[in-house]
Amino acid sequence: MRKNRVMKKGLGRATLEFKRLKYFIAVAEELHFGRAAARLEMAQPPLSRQIATLEKEIGAQLFDRARSQIRLTEAGAVLLDRARDILDDLDSAYREVELIGRGGAGRLRVAFVGSATHGVLPSLIKSYRSHYPHVDLSLSSMNNAELERGLIQRDIDIAVARPNLQGDEFRSMALHHEPLILALPDNSALAGQSLPIKLADLDKETFVLYPRRPRPSFADHILKVCEGEGFTPVDQIFAQDYQTAISLVSVGVGLAMVPKSVSNSPRAGVLYRSYEGNNPGTSLTVHARRDNRKPQVLQFFDIIEKYTRKRT
């Protein structure tokens, strides 16, 4: 209780000191107590008492009152410069804190699966930046397990997962759904054939799957798609992430099933083809902790809502 009284007393004193600095600046600029009092919308006697108290506390005379028109002393001139800086800094601090409180500044940490960079995510990030240019936007690539751990440990604010993250503690929103396509080595016989490629005919092909761990993952989603066509790839090569997987395809190690959006970014040595057969597609979802009420997080979800509404 005593601590609270001391804190309140300290805050009250600080508020009073700032007021006295404002009073002092008004008198120093007007060099007339009457005009300064009118500018401050207060009576002259209380203003004179406040300046006298300020001089007593500082231990220096701030105004030379010996002449018909008051003048600043050397100490007063120094205080005027410092007082202006102090109040400008305080005003700037208030504006900055207010901006952060409204989500217009501050920091937002967004992490995403690697394949998301080829789809709607870049446009979404661009839209967010255009609305909130002063927010420090931190971007990083993670797999689903890292995304989930990052949210739980509060290392990130937003997670963009494929297909989703599980957990009642997460607020989630669908971002985008798209079909699967094949990523083929450009020297593959499949890449050159004119007939439609049937998924069921690929049972003897080498499938490049990702990620290697943790499981279950997008790799298991692809294996289930193949199972829907009645086969499990005999030859399976696992890569840790999408970028490694597509690199393996480019050098002829095998083929991969990928989101259609990755075909928007051509890769040397890789051709993209649609196929006939089981194609449940794949989704991107956005997640945040339900208890993360940062304005930047809430505004990011607002941008998603507007963006998805615009696309439909």
For the stretch 11-44, pLDDT in tens is: 344 455 778 888 888 888 888 888 988 988 989 8
Output 262 or 94, whichever has higher pLDDT. 262
Q: Do β-strands 206-209 and 158-161 pair in parallel, antiparallel, or remain unpaired?
A: unpaired
pLDDT of res. 5: 39
Output 161 or 86, whichever has higher pLDDT. 161
Residue 271 has pLDDT above 60, yes or no: yes
Beta-carbon neighbour count of residue 23 at 10 Å? 22
Handedness of CA 235, 241, 245, 247 (dihedral sign): negative
Q: Which range, of 228-232, 293-297, 308-312, averages the lowest pLDDT?
A: 308-312
Closest CA to 166 of 287, 45, 270: 287
pLDDT (tens digit per residue) in 184-238: 999 998 988 888 999 999 999 999 999 888 777 899 999 999 999 999 999 999 9
- Residue 112 CB contacts under 8 Å (≥ 6 apart), including other chains: 121, 139, 140, 141, 142, 147, 159, 160, 161
pLDDT of res. 97: 64
Mean pLDDT, residues 162-189: 92
Q: Domains along the chain?
A: 18-89 (1.10.10.10), 105-177+283-310 (3.40.190.10), 180-280 (3.40.190.10)
> Which span out of 28-32, 106-110, 138-142, 181-185 was modeled with the highest average pLDDT?
181-185
Residue 3 has pLDDT above 80, yes or no: no
pTM: 0.66
pLDDT of res. 252: 94
- Distance separating alpha carbons of residues 50 and 45, to the nearest angstrom: 9
DSSP 22-47: HHHHHHHHHS-HHHHHHHHTS-HHHH
Cα of first residue to Cα of last residue in the chain, in angstroms, is: 58
247 alpha carbon, distance to own chain's centre: 30
CA dihedral 300, 301, 305, 306 (to 10 degrees): -20
Output 98 or 43, whichever has higher pLDDT. 43
pLDDT of res. 173: 93
pLDDT of res. 112: 94
Residue 80 has pLDDT above 50, yes or no: yes
Judge whether 209 and 245 are in contact, CB under 8 Å: yes
Output 248 or 15, whichever has higher pLDDT. 248
Q: What angle do CA 115, 116, 119 make, to 5 degrees?
A: 110
pLDDT of res. 103: 59
Mean pLDDT, residues 6-15: 41
